[in-house]
Structure formats: C-alpha cells, structure tokens
Amino acid sequence: MSQFSLFSSGIELANLVVSSGLLKLSWDKISELYTELNQSEEIRWKVYQQPQSNCIIVAFVVSPNRTKQLLEEEELVPSSSLPFFHFLRTKIDSSFSISKAAVTLFDCVLDQLSSFKDRVGNSISMIITGHCLGGSVASLFTLCLLKSINQPGTKRPLCITFGAPLIGDKGLQQAISQNLMWNSDFLHVAASQDLVPRFFISPYNPNAMEIDSQIGIYKPFGIFLLCSKYGCSSLEDPEAVSEVLVAMDLEIARNKPPNEQWHMFDYGAVVKRLMSTISFKGISQLSEMIECPRQAGIVLQLQAIGLNRRQQSGDSNPLIAKLEKCEEAFVSKRKMGFDPSKKLNKRKEDMAKLEWYKKVSKSEDKGYYDSYKNRGSKKDLHVVTFKKSLTNYWKEMVAEVERMPQKEEASFRTRWLYGGTNYRRMVEPLDIADYYKENGKKDYKANGRSEHYIKLEKWLEEAGKPLSSQVITRKQNVSASLTEDSCFWAHVEEALIQCELLRNGQEEESTRKKLIEFEEYVMEQIKEYAVSPEIFLGGSSFMQWWKDYEQIVGTSYKSQLTDFMKSRLYQQYH
C-alpha cells in the first residue's frame, strides 16, 4: 500500500524489540557466560534451554585480552578461501570477504558447532547471541544456520549481537541484504558510547579505509538497534546505518579526547535503562513544526540516538535530509520488488492468445511451430509481442526465485510450477524456431537455450513426476495438450541438419547414429503420448524430416518409427 513511504517505523520496531524482553534475556546469558570464562580460554560458547518454552539461546563470548589483540587486525579473508560460506554466493555477487578476526575465532569452534547444529536441527526457535567479537561469531554461526533452513516447518533463528564490530565487505552486505528474510534475522545492538561497532567504519581509523579513497571497506548488514542515553531506534537500510555510524563517531570525537583507552562496553546497564523507559514518554518531543510524518519520525530517531544536534548556522541537521533520502530510496527499491501474482492474470491472457494462435495454425495444417518459423502472416508477428512479455515475466520470476532463501523458494516453486511448465512447453518451441532460423546455427540445447528454461525444467524434475495418469485419459486429451519435451523441435531441427549432411554425401557413422537415436527418441515420445499430434500435420518440420529421411534410408530400412509412419498409424494418434 502506498502509505509505506509516509512513515518511518524505526522507533516503533526498536520499542517492540526492547519491550519483548529478548535483549535482557540474551544479555543475562552473556554475562553469565563471562563469569565462566577461563583465563586461558579464547572463546567460550554455551547453550541455554529456556524453561517452559521450545526456545534455546546460544551465547558466545571472547576473552577481553584476545579481543584487544584481534581488533587490531583489520584484514579481510576473501570468500574463495572460505569454503564453508560458499552457499552465500549467487550468480550476481560471486565474492565477498569476512574479517579475519571473526573467521579465526569461528574456526576455533567450528567443529563443535557443526555437531551441535546437526543435533538440534531447525525445529526449535533459537536465539544466537554474543558480545563484541562473540557477536561476530554469533553472526557467522547464524549464517550457517540459514544455509540449512529449507525444510518446511523450520523455525527462523534470530541473531542478537551486542557491540559487535562490522565483519564483512560490500559483497557480504549484498549477499545478505538482497534477501529480505535473511537481513531481518540479524539484530545488532550498538550503543553510542561503544567504539567497537563503528571501529571499522570510523573515519579516524586509517586502516579501515580503502586505499586512495574515503570509503570504508567494511559494510554493515542486518538491522541495527542504536541506543544512546536518550533512547533507542532501529535502522534497516545499510546505507543509512553507515551514515549514522560515521555520524556517531564524529559526534563522540567532538566530545571526547581522541586517544581514550579502549574497554569492553557493558550492555547490561543499557538494556536495563531501555527496559525501564518503556513507561515513559521520554524526550520524544518535536521542538519545531514539522508536518511531514516521515521527517518527524526521522527527527525522533535522531533524538533517540543522540544525534539531533543543531547546526551552529541554524540550519537543520543535514543528517535528517540524508536519512530521508536513504529511506526514500530504500522504500522505492522495495516497491519495485517483483510481485509475481500482480501480472499473472495478464500473462494468462497472453497464454490464451498463444493457445489460440496454436489452434489457428493447426487449422492451416502447419502447426504453430512452423507457422511462427515461416512468419507468413500478420498474426505471426503479433505472437512476437505476447512471447516477449511472457518471456520477460518468467525470466524475472526465475531470477526472483533464485534470489530467495531456499525455504521460500521451495514453496514458491510448487505454486508456480504449473504455469511455468505450461509456459515453457508453449513458448520454448518459438525460441527454437528463432534460433534455427538464423542460418548455420546448430545445437540449440548447448548454445542457445536460455537459462530460465533450464531452471524451470529442473524444478519440474525435482518436484517429482506428476500423478501417474492413465494412458487412456492421456490419449483422449492429447490433441489439446502441448508437447511435453519443450526441446522437441530442437531435436527435429538437428535431425534435419543431419539429413542435409547425409544428402550432401558427408556420410559418417556418427551422423547415422544420431539419426537413429532421434528415431528412438521420437518413438518413445509417441508411445508415452508425450508429443502433440500437431507434429504430424502436413506442413510441419517433422514431416519434412520424415520425407527427407524416408528418401535417405530407402524402402528396405525398417524400424519401429518407420513402421509407424509408413503405415500411417499416426493418423490415429490424436
């Protein structure tokens, strides 16, 4: 709905998180775990079962000394050397990097975690939490869980980190935030007095900058819960988070001596204060007249995180405008998001029109494949339009499914599989026709086939065979249905090419062999009633092939298919 862009809900979301009590719950476990941490230990983790609920909390802490050491290294490890996280890579973002500190610590506990993960499965609600670098490890562990969250009935984990440093680059940010569900599985609590969350993005930290530029290498992902002594607010858009983290850094630097000693920041007090302010109005008052609700919301957010400093010149805070812009861009990006059901009925109309085209072509004794290939009349040109809108729709659909987390993907696939399969069977022959129309083009399946057809076909296979239908009913209706193998015509075209070769005297064993394979393939399709009877129409390419082939092999040659064709049994195939 269009009210989406009118409001900024950061404060409300933050308030929900605080009043849910989950922050206190998580932090209590962390502080309990700190007391158990041995002097010699680098990292410690523990599972806590919640009484009277099907929820467990997995907490991580890292020894303060080790933390100090590790935070001085800002190196990133490229994804090529992180086989464990390869599942995050997609076609679009093929590489990313993760901070060495986080990876080093994660490796220490990887074996234990893996066996733990296998033991609990995905059927219980899990909060993964950690403080400082412990939070980084918690994030990495949550990422691993997301990998396997594909079976139905699994619960989404929630990762809550306290004062964790940024752990990845733009690649990681994109890999996670292109997926709406993944991004909101991470909640990073960051206090304005804590240096660590913005350590790697601080303009005062020369190592965190890319060479020759002012842009930091590290990028945030997930939802940030930013808190100050005035209150708290949440931010989701990664651009806005970066802006605010940098602004916080500048704000603090203005007020504090730059070389202050680093210490582990205690979030217990922060959480306690936030909880106690629920019943208070707080400072959420506007001092000026603002009419735009979104702008007012942003001003409140900045107040809550202590950044609503008035400029000396009396101008309004430039951060407000920046955040407004971020929010606008973020919302419109969301809005542009693909909604498959929106256009579905329109596409069904296109399919109906194509079906009609198929029917008309049939009455012309050609079949729609050849009708389209020859483009003899006006109606063939119309088809190009439907075909284009259908192809765009399904290409986008397949791309969207590819970007989805696996769990949604699975259910999504089943829902759209029927339409997708129908589309593929109807439209791919037209693509094949276009492909072979260009002279000399060969081997569609290897060189010409669009990725989305391959995916659609693969999904159908993975979904398992449809209910085994009786061959009788199949036969009854075969005239109305489409050829099951959408690449059937590519096979025909290849066979035509082979015949051409033979006719030109390029007699070769492999050519003959291929033709025999084709024969067998066709016969099998016929037996299964998997091809449409249209292929036997007088003007079809298949019949063209048959004429060629019949000449080449001569009358003495005998096979199942030649018998079938010669005896004109195909006339009863409908």
Partner 1 sequence: MSEPFSVLDKRIRFTRLILFYLRKGREEARSGCIVGGLTLERALSLTWIKVKVESTIGKYPKRSFTSLHNNFQERVQNLKQETFYLLYDLKIKRAIIINQAKLLNREIFSTSTITVVETMASERLGEVISMKEEVIKNACSIAMKAHKLPEKQLYLVEKNRGSSDVIFSFPGSWTISDWFSRSPFGEKMIDPHPPQFASLRSIGNDQVATVNEAFLTRFQAILPQLQSEVVKAVADRKQIVFTGHSSAGPIAVLMTVWFLENWENFIKSDPSTSRMPPICVTFGSPLVGDFIINHALRRESWSHYFIHFVMRYDIVPRVLLAPLSSLEPELKTILDFLNPKCTIHIQEPTREASALYVTVMRNASSVASHAACHLMGNTNKLSDTLLSFIELSPYRPFGTYVFCTGDRELVVMKNPDAVLQILFYSSQLSSEVEGPEIALRSVKDHFNYQSELQNLETKGVAHFDNLEGLPLSSNVGAAGLGLVLNNLGLSTRARLCLCAAGELEKQKRRNQDKINKKKTDIEKGLLALEGYKTRCEAGRVSYYDALKLSKDTDDFNANVRRLELAGIFDEIMEMLKRYELPDEFEGHREWINIGTRYRRIVEPLDIANYYRHLKNEDTGPYMKRGRPKRYRYTQRWLEYALKISAGSSGESCFWARIEDLCLRTINMGLFEDVKEEILSLEKQVEKWVQNRELGDDIFFEDSTFVKWWKKLPQQHRSGSCISKFINN
Whether the Cβ atoms of residue 99 and residue 130 lie closer than 8 Å to each other: no
Task: Indicate which single residue of 184, 193, 316, 560 sits in contact with partner 1 (rule: CB under 8 A).
Answer: 184
Task: Indicate which single residue of 187, 195, 307, 323 sits in contact with partner 1 (rule: CB under 8 A).
Answer: 187
Task: Indicate which single residue of 119, 281, 378, 568 sits in contact with partner 1 (rule: CB under 8 A).
Answer: 281
Task: Indicate which single residue of 74, 169, 185, 534 sits in contact with partner 1 (rule: CB under 8 A).
Answer: 185
DSSP run (H or E) holding 126: strand 125-131
Alpha-carbon gap, residue 574 to 533, rounded angstroms:
6
Footprint of partner 1 on residues 3-42 (CB under 8 A)?
3-9, 11-13, 15-17, 19-22
DSSP run (H or E) holding 188: strand 186-191
Residue 404 C-beta: closest distance to partner 1, Å: 13
Footprint of partner 1 on residues 91-150 (CB under 8 A)?
125, 127
Cβ contacts of 126 within 8 Å, gap of 6 or more:
55, 56, 57, 58, 120, 145, 155, 157, 158
Under DSSP, is residue 514 helix (H, G, I), strand (E, B) or coil? helix
Of the pair 98, 158, the CB lying nearest partner 1 is at 158
Task: Indicate which single residue of 261, 446, 467, 555 sits in contact with partner 1 (rule: CB under 8 A).
Answer: 467
Residue 83 C-beta: closest distance to partner 1, Å: 29
Task: Indicate which single residue of 262, 338, 356, 557 sits in contact with partner 1 (rule: CB under 8 A).
Answer: 356
Residue 167 C-beta: closest distance to partner 1, Å: 19
Of the pair 180, 399, the CB lying nearest partner 1 is at 180
Binding letters toward partner 1, positions 516-555, x by CB under 8 A = ----------------------------------------
Of the pair 213, 285, the CB lying nearest partner 1 is at 285
Whether the Cβ atoms of residue 338 and residue 400 lie closer than 8 Å to each other: yes
E strands, 6-73, in order? 43-49, 55-62
Structure tokens at 415: 């829902």
Whether the Cβ atoms of residue 229 and residue 306 lie closer than 8 Å to each other: yes
Of the pair 8, 99, the CB lying nearest partner 1 is at 8
Q: How far is CA 294 from CA 8, 301, 318, 323, 526, in A?
A: 5, 10, 15, 10, 64
Of the pair 146, 495, the CB lying nearest partner 1 is at 146
Q: Is 55 in the site for partner 1 (CB under 8 A)?
A: yes
- Site residue total, partner 1 (CB under 8 A): 74
Footprint of partner 1 on residues 207-246 (CB under 8 A)?
223, 234, 236
Q: How far is CA 309 from CA 98, 163, 218, 511, in A?
A: 34, 24, 26, 80
Q: Which of 368, 359, 365, 574 is nearest to 479 (CA)?
A: 574
Footprint of partner 1 on residues 304-343 (CB under 8 A)?
331, 334, 341
Stretch that binds partner 1, among 168-176, 205-213, 288-296, 389-397 (CB under 8 A): 288-296
Stretch that binds partner 1, among 165-173, 292-300, 451-459, 496-504 (CB under 8 A): 292-300
Residue 510 C-beta: closest distance to partner 1, Å: 38
Of the pair 125, 560, the CB lying nearest partner 1 is at 125
Q: Is 547 exposed, middle or buried (0-12, 13-18, 19+ CB in 10 A)?
A: exposed
Rounded to the nearest angstrom, the gap between the alpha carbon of residue 494 and the centroid of all alpha carbons in its chain is 36
Residue 1 C-beta: closest distance to partner 1, Å: 5
Backbone dihedral angles phi then psi of residue 424, each to the nearest 5 degrees? -60, -45
Half-sphere exposure for 92 (CA within 13 Å, toward CB): 15
Task: Indicate which single residue of 37, 108, 110, 180 sits in contact with partner 1 (rule: CB under 8 A).
Answer: 180
Of the pair 50, 562, the CB lying nearest partner 1 is at 50
Of the pair 219, 491, the CB lying nearest partner 1 is at 219
Residue 220 C-beta: closest distance to partner 1, Å: 14
Of the pair 362, 455, the CB lying nearest partner 1 is at 362
| Pairing status of strand 97-99 against strand 76-78 | antiparallel
Task: Indicate which single residue of 214, 259, 280, 510 sits in contact with partner 1 (rule: CB under 8 A).
Answer: 280
Task: Indicate which single residue of 108, 253, 264, 296 sits in contact with partner 1 (rule: CB under 8 A).
Answer: 296
Of the pair 15, 104, the CB lying nearest partner 1 is at 15
Stretch that binds partner 1, among 60-68, 101-109, 252-260, 349-357 (CB under 8 A): 349-357
Alpha-carbon gap, residue 201 to 204, rounded angstroms:
9
Footprint of partner 1 on residues 412-431 (CB under 8 A)?
418, 422
Alpha-carbon gap, residue 397 to 402, rounded angstroms:
9
Alpha-carbon gap, residue 120 to 67, rounded angstroms:
29
Stretch that binds partner 1, among 61-69, 287-295, 309-317, 555-563 (CB under 8 A): 287-295
Alpha-carbon gap, residue 503 to 498, rounded angstroms:
9
Q: Which of 345, 430, 429 is nearest to 382 (CA)?
A: 430
Cβ contacts of 335 within 8 Å, gap of 6 or more:
4, 5
Of the pair 265, 368, the CB lying nearest partner 1 is at 368
Stretch that binds partner 1, among 60-68, 197-205, 347-355, 494-502 (CB under 8 A): 347-355
Residue 282 C-beta: closest distance to partner 1, Å: 7
DSSP run (H or E) holding 284: none
Q: Is 352 in the site for partner 1 (CB under 8 A)?
A: yes
Alpha-carbon gap, residue 494 to 515, rounded angstroms:
9
Cα-only R_g, the chain: 32
Q: Is 158 in the site for partner 1 (CB under 8 A)?
A: yes
